[in-house]
Homo-oligomer: A and B are copies of this chain.
Amino acid sequence: MKATTRWVRFRSPDGGIGIGTVHGATVAVHAGSLFESPLPTGASLEMADVRMLAPCVPSKMVALWNNFGALAAKLGKQPPVHPLYFIKPATCIIGTGDAIERPASYAGKIAYEGELGIVIGKRCKDVAADDADDHIFGYTCVNDVTAADILNETPDFAQWCRCKGFDTFGAIGPAIATNIDLSQARVITRVAGVERQNYPLSDMIFSPAELVSRISRDMSLLPGDVIACGTSVGVGSIRDGAVVEVYIEGIGSLANSLRPPAP
């Protein structure tokens, strides 16, 4: 297996946007596109001096429903025969440290869902499962934020795209880790410091390779697109002001607070 690398995207002290690899408390700055073998410039920055951004700029997020055995069992759902998903728009993406903004129009429950995110590295169309790994750049943490009361507000149309598509409702980061072994990894979600989710990725119904393959038969996936692999048990709500952290070993901790609208 190749060495693991953790890629970040950041705003540097001079205001510019950069990318680089994480080495302890420093970032080795790289030049070029993340998906076209960027090269180190030789410069490095202290992590403490940069503002982290979403580690990539997806054209869309494809987000799974009912993709973990434990949650399916709890909800009494059969495992699906094909990945079941909705789309979150690019306009909902934020990075670690950014606030999740409560919409001015919505006073109801806002839920966190800690998830693994697959970051696409090469355009995918009708990719075989055996070739999918070549199209995956790496993995990130996702918080698939949801305005939960909207989903079933009307009886005849589940509003997946609306309740999950608000600006700032797609948190990704802090890094994209390449070449990591996910077989033993767990997704851990903490809200205001209290652990609320801790589930193994080995319980996933469709593996990352299968997701990329099958979704690529529906729609082209572009470099930087994110597939959010679905969540498992322990989903709950976020109080205004609370910080949600989604942690996966090898990737890091994605932390976002829920900000109420200005009075």
Contact = CB atoms under 8 A, between A and B. Distances in A.
B166 A219 contact: yes
A91 B219 contact: yes
Given A59-B89, A89-B60, A165-B87, A154 B81 contact: yes
Contacts of A154: 80-82, 84
Interface in A144-167: 153-154, 156-162, 165-167
A86 interface: yes
Nearest to A76: B156
A89 B85 CA distance: 13
A65 interface: yes
A217 B81 CA distance: 35
Contacts of A160: 86, 160-161
Contacts of A59: 59, 89-91
A157 B66 contact: yes
B90 A167 contact: no
A92 interface: yes
A125 B165 CA distance: 13
A262 interface: no
A128 interface: no
A218 interface: yes
A162 B60 CA distance: 13
A104 interface: yes
B219 A85 contact: no
Interface in A47-106: 59-60, 62, 65-66, 77, 80-82, 84-92, 103-105
A166 to B, nearest CB: 6
A113 to B, nearest CB: 16
Contact of A92 (B81, B85, B219): B219
A202 interface: no
Contacts of A66: 156-157
A222 interface: yes
A162 to B, nearest CB: 6
Interface in A104-138: 104-105, 125-126
A4 interface: no
Ranked nearest first, the 10 interchain pairs of A and B with the lowest CB-CB distance are A91-B220, A87-B87, A84-B157, A87-B161, A60-B89, A165-B219, A86-B161, A105-B217, A91-B219, A167-B220
